Amino acid sequence: MSLVYLNGEFKPIEEASVNVLDRGFIFGDGIYEVIPVFNRKIFRFDEHMRRLETSLNKIYMKSPVSSKELFSIFEQLINSMEEYDQSIYLHITRGVSDRDHDISIANEPTVFAMSRPIRKNNLYLGVKAITHDDIRWQYCDIKATTLLSSVLLRHKAKEEGSREAILVRDGFVTEGAASNIFIHLDDKIYTPPKTNHVLPGITRDLLIEILLDYKIPLKEEAISVDMLSSASEIWLTSSTWEIVPVVELNGNLVGEGNPGPLWKEVNILYQEFKRNYCN
Ligand SMILES: Cc1ncc(COP(=O)(O)O)c(C=O)c1O
């Protein structure tokens, strides 16, 4: 039977519940991680743990569980499921307190984790995207549970028959509502540099490592809206999506309107890396 973890206990999801005064529920006062599992092996665990630590520090929290404990919790969740490819969701809030913004009154964080199967849904065939103003806050480098703006952005994309909203701040692309972005333009790959307007994606970093290893020209440089609309390929990255080509942007074809040749090449390299890592 598949189990979830909540504050020290493993149980069926129907039996897991939190106090309504949990600050995660009241304020969205918490952070999270999504960690992929391929062939039942946790992918890039250390990198996810480093980002978790950074997110916690940035919201003035210390990790209530060590990485070693988390690894063991994740292993138990994975083992309670049949699927080979899963995605672990870890959610840490500041815990229960009186409804008061003051963070010093909360001292017992809530830790919740579950694992779910990864379903690919033909994403490798390419997706449609729209551009939209980046309506989010200034701390997008924190993987915060406060995701209302991203939920609305994904809804706006869906209303236009698209899967993702590519976000634009002051004329420059930041990232997708739940993904990082790469474009191919004039024989180079571009991705926006890490700033407070971009989540430091684990998949983004791995793709950069792969591009550099294979000497594929890469620039971590701001991408203007003009560059985006002239790109011959656009890719979105995330732990569960991996590398997904965008084939249509705001109703216009990207390149030939199919996954591009460079995406095919790079995706093979990425899949190879994954296979070796998760063997
Ligand atoms: C806003 C945002 N950017 C980027 C990403 C990709 O990050 P990762 O590759 O670590 O999954 C995500 C993932 O959910 C995200 O929500």
| pLDDT tens readout for residues 105-139 | 998 999 999 999 998 889 999 999 999 999 999 99
Question: What atom of ligand 1 comes closest to residue 177's alpha carbon?
Answer: 1
pLDDT digits (tens, 9 = 90+) for 183-199: 999 999 999 999 999 99
Mean pLDDT across 266-278? 97
Work out the mean pLDDT of the chain and round it to a whole number: 97
Does 238 sit in the ligand 1 pocket, CB within 6 Å? yes
Residue type, 75: E
In the chain, residues under CATH classification 3.30.470.10 are 4-117
Across-strand partners of 185?
188
CATH topology for the 123-277 domain: D-amino Acid Aminotransferase; Chain A, domain 2 (3.20.10)
pLDDT value for 121: 83
Asked if the model's pLDDT at residue 1 lies above 90, the reply is no
What's the CATH architecture for 4-117? 2-Layer Sandwich (3.30)
Q: Which part of the chain has CATH 3.20.10.10?
A: 123-277
Q: How far is the CA of 178 from the centre of ligand 1 (A)?
A: 5
Position 73 scores a pLDDT of 98
> Given this model, what pLDDT does residue 199 score?
98
Q: Whose CA is nearest to atom 3 of ligand 1?
A: 179
Given a cut of 90, is residue 213 above it in pLDDT? Answer: yes
Prediction pTM value: 0.97
